[in-house]
Amino acid sequence: MTQPLLLQPLISHFERFLPFDENEKQLLEGRVTERRIRRRQAILQEGFPCKHYSFVVEGCLRMFAVDQKGVEHTIQFAAENEWIADIGSFHSGRASKLFIEAIEPSVVLQIEQKDLYFLYDSIPKLDRIFKVIIEDKYVELQNRVLQNISSTAQERYLAFLEQYPTLSQRLPNTQIASYLGITPEFLSKIRKNIAS
C-alpha cells in the first residue's frame, strides 16, 4: 500500500480535473502501488503484456520499439506528473511490442487493470478523468504523426522543445534523436543552426 504522502502528487494530478473526497482518496490509496526504478531498468519488455498504468512521481521514462536492425524508435517520454503505458496491450492483455524503461532513477505509482476498473466503478469521476487524459494523449499523437509526415526535422525539434521544455536538458541526444526520427549527428547540426 502506498503512503498517503507519496500518493499526494497523484491526488493533486486528479484534482486538476475534479475534487476528491476523503473516501475516494482512501479507495485510491488501496489500489495504487509505489515502485522505485533504477536508471535503464525496464517496467515493460517486448513480448510481455502491459499490466500497469504508471504515473511518474519522480524521474523520467520512455516508451520505445526496437526494429529488426536493432534501431530504437522512441514513441513517448513521461516525466513528473505524466502517465505511461502501452494502452493497447494493457486493455487487450496481448504481448506488447514495446519497451518502457527509466531514463533516470524514478518513482512511479502503478495501477493494475483490475484495480483501475474497480476504481472506475467506485469513483465514477475517475473514469471521466482518464477519458480526458487519454483524449489529450491521442491529440498529442495525432499532432506527432502530422509533424512526422509534413514537418522538417528542425520543425519537429522545435515542437519537441515546446512539448517537453525541461526534458531537453535531461535526455541524452541519442534519445531525442530517436524520438525525432533522425541521427544524433543531424540533431547536433539542427541545434547549431538554431543557436547561430
pLDDT in tens, 173-182: 999 999 999 9
Is 26 inside any structural domain? yes
> What is the residue-averaged pLDDT of the chain?
93
Q: Residue 73 in 3-state DSSP?
A: strand
Range of the domain at 67: 4-124
Whole-prediction pTM value?
0.91
Residue 5: predicted pLDDT: 62
State the CATH number of the domain containing residue 40: 2.60.120.10
How much is the average pLDDT of 45-54?
97
| CA nearest neighbour of 61 among 45, 77, 50, 49 | 77
Report pLDDT digits (tens) over 26-35: 999 989 999 9
Provide the pLDDT for residue 4. Answer: 58
Above 80 in pLDDT, residue 2? Answer: no
Q: Are 186 and 118 in contact (CB under 8 A)?
A: no
Neighbours of 40 (CB within 10 A): 10
Number of structural domains the chain divides into: 1
Beta strand pairing status for 33-37 and 72-78?
unpaired
In a domain, 59, yes or no: yes
Answer yes or no: is 23 within a domain. yes
